Amino acid sequence: MRISQRFVFAWVIVVAITAVAASIFSYTFVRDRAAEADQVLELPDPPQLGDLNPFSGDTADETAPSSTAPPDVMTPGVAAESPVEMPSVEAAEVPAESPGENAGSETDTAASPSEEPDPVEAASAGAVAGSALLDDPRRVTVLLMGIDQRAGEEGTFPTDTMIVFSLDPVGQTGAILSIPRDLWVEYPGLGQPGRINSANILGDDINYPGGGGPAFAVKTAERTLGIPIDYYVLLNFEVFIKVVDAVGPIEVCPPETIHDEHYPDGSYGYITVHFDPGCQDLDAEHLLQYARTRHGDSDISRSTRQQEVILAVRQKVLSTGGVMALLPEAPSLWASVQENIRTNMTFEDLVSLALKTEDIPSDNIRQGQITYAEVYSSTTPEGDEILIPIGSDIRRLIEDLFRAAGTPSLRETQ
């Protein structure tokens, strides 16, 4: 049978049109999927336990944690380098300035002085009551970092103290977790291991998005602990001294004699500090010595005293009328310490968080430390001592600290 040329030509046209249509459809489908892959996904509100393996890998282009939170509002001593701006889910609500450009005080973000409330007015009960943090029922988690920045020193410093605070406003529970500074982790996106206390230095060196060093320390802690962290507060000892001076002597109760002949004096020398056992009131300088001394012991043991100091300061504030009684002095105190703090929280957020903390019964505040039950000792090729995390044991510790109100401790059920 002979096939006409017209029939063959018609089929060629049909096949060509079909091929072009399929190509257009395939391109559109792939383009849409690629666009979806670039979108930032919202994480669930409650803390989700994730992979506790610190070597679980990260991509270098990850956005920083808490991308919707404001950037640093203060810098310690000198301004940090401005990190690269990254897209955010709520980018329209985030100030355009980078942390380095926004250093100094909260009022720097305002277009004009008339757009920013007076510090005294901002500290009033009405201003604080309007804080979104105060009304938010979700769990709030903060990483507190302390640096050993001595008088006249500038630059970026390792975080000698790292403590995670977590509050569950609905369940009326709180958690405090101390992280040893020698914990050996892999830095997210860098593919190299190191001590967790060096994350702050590396974050500033690479201009990590969303806050530099403190934001990178948050990301490192998140990957190590397997929980999201909403905010960070990095401060030096000057802030500690002024805050304690504002609330008065703090009572602590060392269970045994503490005698340290090699306590750093702040000028690269040493002094002797001594504390007798038993409850005693300490001024700011001696309270700092009590919290910092290693007393021939490890950082893991020292974290016990640091948590004792934190809860003792909280108890002193409550005994003197609570945060509201301190509000008249809060603006002047904030002005005197803001150059020594880096945080992605506003002043109102900090006061609101303190008010939330007041509502948590003392018996509902759980304390935890990463101890030798969750790590094992090792050394680097250079001979430096480090602590290797045991992921499964850290997971159990976190689950115990974050358990719902009224549920028994995991240690009690074992």
Identify whether the C-beta of residue 226 lies closer than 8 Å to the C-beta of residue 370. Answer: no
Higher-confidence residue: 309 or 8? 309
Model confidence pLDDT, tens digit, residues 15-53: 566 655 555 544 444 344 433 433 333 333 333 333 444
Mean of all residue pLDDT scores within the chain: 74
Residue of higher predicted confidence among 412 and 364: 364
Q: What is the pLDDT of residue 148?
A: 81
Q: Answer yes or no: is pLDDT of 310 > 50.
A: yes
**221 neighbors 229 (Cβ within 8 angstroms):** yes
- The confidence score (pLDDT) of residue 88 equals 29
- Report pLDDT for 359: 87
- For residue 277, pLDDT beyond 50: yes
The alpha carbons of the chain give a radius of gyration, in whole angstroms, of 26
Please tell me the distance from the alpha carbon of residue 199 to that of residue 145, in angstroms, as a whole number.
11
* Side-chain half-sphere CA neighbours of 394 within 13 A: 26
Taking phi over 0 as left and psi of -120 to 50 as alpha, with beta for the rest, 31 belongs to alpha
Pairing of strands 258-264, 270-275: antiparallel
Helix (H) or strand (E) holding 369: strand 365-369
What pLDDT score does 246 carry?
87
Residue 69 has pLDDT above 60, yes or no: no
Q: How far is residue 121's CA from residue 200's CA, in Å, rounded to a whole number?
A: 34
pLDDT at 159 over 80: yes
pLDDT at 184 over 50: yes
Residues 6+ apart with CB under 8 A from 30: none
98/213: higher pLDDT: 213
Considering only 21-35, 88-102, 148-162, 258-272, which range has the smallest mean pLDDT? 88-102
With a pLDDT cut of 70, the percent of the chain lying above it is 64
* pLDDT at position 408 over 90: no
Q: Facing residues of 174 across strands?
A: 167, 365
Q: How far apart are CA 198 and CA 201, in angstroms?
A: 5
Report if pTM > 0.75: no
Distances (CA, A) of 60 to 287, 343, 408: 41, 23, 40
Judge whether residue 377 has pLDDT over 70: yes
Which long-range contacts (C-beta less than 8 Å, at least 24 apart) are formed by 193-200?
193/54, 193/55, 195/158, 195/386, 196/159, 196/162, 196/220, 196/221, 196/224, 197/158, 197/159, 197/160, 197/162, 198/158, 199/159, 200/145, 200/147, 200/156, 200/157, 200/158, 200/159, 200/234
The confidence band for 360, taking pLDDT boundaries of 50, 70 and 90, is very high
Tokens at 410, concatenated: 């995991």
Of 100 and 311, the structure prediction assigns the larger pLDDT to 311
CB 125, CB 321: distance < 8 Å: no
DSSP letters, 105-162, are -GGGGSSSGGGS--HHHHTSHHHHHT-HHHH--S-EEEEEEEE---TT--S---EEEE
Please tell me the predicted confidence (pLDDT) of residue 407. 82
pLDDT value, residue 53:
40
Query: Considering Cα of 171, then 174, then 180, then 181, what sign does the dihedral take?
Result: positive
For 194-232, what is each residue's pLDDT tens digit?
999 999 999 999 999 999 999 999 999 999 999 999 999
Domains and CATH numbers, the chain: 91-413 (3.40.630.190)
Mean pLDDT of all residues in 308-312 = 94
Q: What is the pLDDT of residue 414?
A: 56
| pLDDT at 285 > cutoff 80 | yes
